Chains A and B, each alone.
Chain A
């Protein structure tokens, strides 16, 4: 799907590339893009670029910005909290992206059939998404409760004596948050996969079955390759959302205990609008932007190579 982002798409005017036609195309193209582009340029792109420019300045939002060069970045690299938050964000993404992807795919395979009331189940999958975050946080924290929570009681019952402290422990708070966020997001991505699955023609499976392929082989040789475009889309969107995670963490642990679940976007919020160090917070967001961009471009290249 997205492989064409950089490759030129099939042109309207293939073979007739004279200059007049090219100019006409440019004009037509722009007229299509313009209504959205004007709004996008004015209200999103310009502020984003302004924020990036601020990362080289000191600005309290009450007075004129002052140019400070790379001082914000230097401060950031020396800040212990920045590295903690960066580490947490990366760990969160490493846990959240593959787990959500795998479970979403599994759920999609489960729901990809004609079944009475399947519509109800599909709607039910969305409930985590539209449940108030406070309710999500309270109930999951109850489930995770170190002494009386059902999760640890289960772990005790299967013979694990030293059950984790989950959200009351620095080591386990991040895994607890990851589990909750996977639970919350898997329905959303399941729909993307479900859709992808529906587009795989059943003939492919039948052919594989005739060739004597086991269920696992069919999954591996038919489903996975056919889903590659969907997977790419899911990975990109999941990566972006993992690196920007904010609401769930604020409500569930607020970055604690200590700094064990503090993430970059929280830092951006606290330092910027919270404490009025907008230059510094912009520097952090520039770094976050670059990381996400790198990951996306890398995935993009891998995808392109596979497609070839």
Chain B
């Protein structure tokens, strides 16, 4: 009976400890809706760690005193899974944040989102990057407020030490040569010329963007040069080997912030992350930004990116308010609100860019500014109901090429074969 007594004590203790018991102990109880205020719920991921949401909501609440925004905080890792489950249960969250375009296509094609052409028509369509991605046969079900694209981060001190110039107008060949030159080993510690993170986009999305390739087509010849480049770098030891990076869960932040790599192609989301680390004294890397390397040196910059958007739930409790919020967030006010904290807004105009470069700790040299305004930003992955399945296959085959189990040629053929047989011909 001792055990049961113990359990009873524990129960009493925890009920006491739990204070509010059933209501949950982590944080204050939810405040009741205030008189005359509408509570607009918005699904977000990792609310604490993703400051753009708070920046947007605070600014919107300040501009619209009769609206109270309630974030529905969901863990980033499994965000789409939780949203899918909630929606299946008929959830009435008003605004749904679309983490990527693949999920968007699934929700939109299954009639889970409201059409918001009325909102999109009022936006500055020409300057809203990534808007095209949300066009499904002339209908829009979401509007982007944020657009991340890829550029090249580099470590100015390592460049200086090697006596090379800043990475201006690089072609891929020059990039490879530079990476090899920047690779050094001292005291058993290697500093790599560049670091390619394990994501397939590092190779596939950039070659699709620069070759006008379609990653849902089933023909992947356009990946070839990029794979050869990456494998050459890996073979010469100018970048961390893929197998190691994958199995050790290597953090790209660690690679760059501890000065283990001189260059690193990465998305713009890292700008605010790096600036924060630098401000907190957690890194002393002297950083610079440059455009992604290109096929030719004609000075035109093509990169790829991925928009993040807000959509209105079909079952929303406050549809009209939700639409108003989206119109604001995708407009200039919303763009300025997130620019202030170093997040790249979808709306690109001079006023917004100026606001952005006011951020403390940003590199202000000309090359960094140029990197920030690419000539063309292709979509990371096309919007289609096939994208999720294709993505999975491309990931698997990417692994095999990068660990050296398949030759580039065989790997590309296998991708095509599998995508055609498992996805396109279904």
Contact = CB atoms under 8 A, between A and B. Distances in A.
B243 interface: yes
Given A168-B243, A275-B389, A142 B403 contact: no
Main SS of chain B's interface residues? Answer: helix
Contacts, number: 75
A253 B403 CA distance: 13
A169 B106 contact: no
Contacts of A253: 247
B406 to A, nearest CB: 8
Contacts of B422: 79-81
A275 B388 contact: yes
A300 B73 CA distance: 47
B111 interface: yes
Interface in B384-426: 388-389, 392, 395-397, 399-400, 403, 405, 418, 421-422
B247 A61 contact: no
Contact of B388 (A167, A169, A258, A274): A274
B396 A256 contact: yes
Contacts of B171: none
Given A60-B110, A80-B422, A138-B249, A276 B84 contact: yes
Contacts of A138: 248-249
A273 B246 CA distance: 25
Contacts of A144: 247
A38 B259 CA distance: 60
A301 B160 CA distance: 75
Contact of B400 (A145, A146, A170): A170
Task: State which size class the interface on B falls in.
Answer: 20 to 34
Nearest to B392: A270
A253 B397 CA distance: 14
Given A273-B84, A274-B388, A258 B247 contact: no
Interface residues of A, number: 31
Nearest to A170: B405
B85 interface: yes
Given A258-B397, A258-B405, A142 B248 contact: yes
B87 A167 contact: no
Nearest to A75: B426
Interface string B38-53: 0000000000000000
Interface in A129-146: 134, 137-138, 141-142, 144-146
A259 interface: yes
Interface in B358-386: none
B88 A61 contact: yes
A63 B110 contact: yes
Interface in B66-81: 80-81
B361 to A, nearest CB: 30
A165 interface: yes
Interface string B96-110: 000000000011001
Contact of A141 (B248, B397, B399, B403): B248
B112 interface: yes
B349 interface: no
Interface string A154-192: 000000000001011110000000000000000000000
A85 to B, nearest CB: 12
B112 A256 contact: no
Contacts of B399: 256-258
A32 interface: no
A81 B397 CA distance: 13
A120 interface: no
Query: Of A80, A138, A165, A274, which is in contact with the most chain B CB atoms at under 10 Å from its CB?
Result: A274
A62 interface: yes
Contacts of A63: 110-111
A61 B249 contact: no
Contacts of B395: 256
Contacts of A255: 396
Contact of B405 (A80, A169, A270, A276): A169
Contacts of B405: 169-170, 257-258
A256 B249 CA distance: 13
Which residue among A134, A167, A276 has the maximum number of chain B CB atoms within 10 Å of its CB?
A: A276
Nearest to B89: A61
B388 A146 contact: no
Interface in B85-135: 85, 87-88, 106-107, 110-112
Nearest to A262: B396
Interface in A265-281: 270, 273-276
Interface string A39-60: 0000000000000000000001
B286 interface: no
B230 to A, nearest CB: 16
Contact of A137 (B107, B110, B249): B249
Contacts of B397: 258
Interface in B13-70: none
Contacts of B392: 270
Given A275-B389, A276-B106, A276-B110, A168 B249 contact: no
23 contacts: A60-B110, A61-B87, A62-B88, A62-B112, A80-B422, A81-B422, A144-B247, A145-B244, A146-B243, A165-B243, A168-B244, A168-B247, A168-B403, A169-B403, A169-B405, A170-B405, A256-B395, A257-B403, A258-B396, A258-B400, A258-B405, A275-B388, A276-B84
Interface of B: 80-81, 84-85, 87-88, 106-107, 110-112, 243-244, 246-249, 388-389, 392, 395-397, 399-400, 403, 405, 418, 421-422
List of 8 A-B pairs having minimum Cβ-Cβ separation, nearest first: A168-B243, A141-B247, A61-B88, A62-B110, A257-B399, A258-B400, A256-B399, A273-B81
Given A138-B249, A145-B248, A258-B399, 10 more contacts: A60-B110, A62-B87, A137-B249, A145-B244, A168-B403, A169-B405, A170-B405, A256-B395, A258-B400, A273-B81
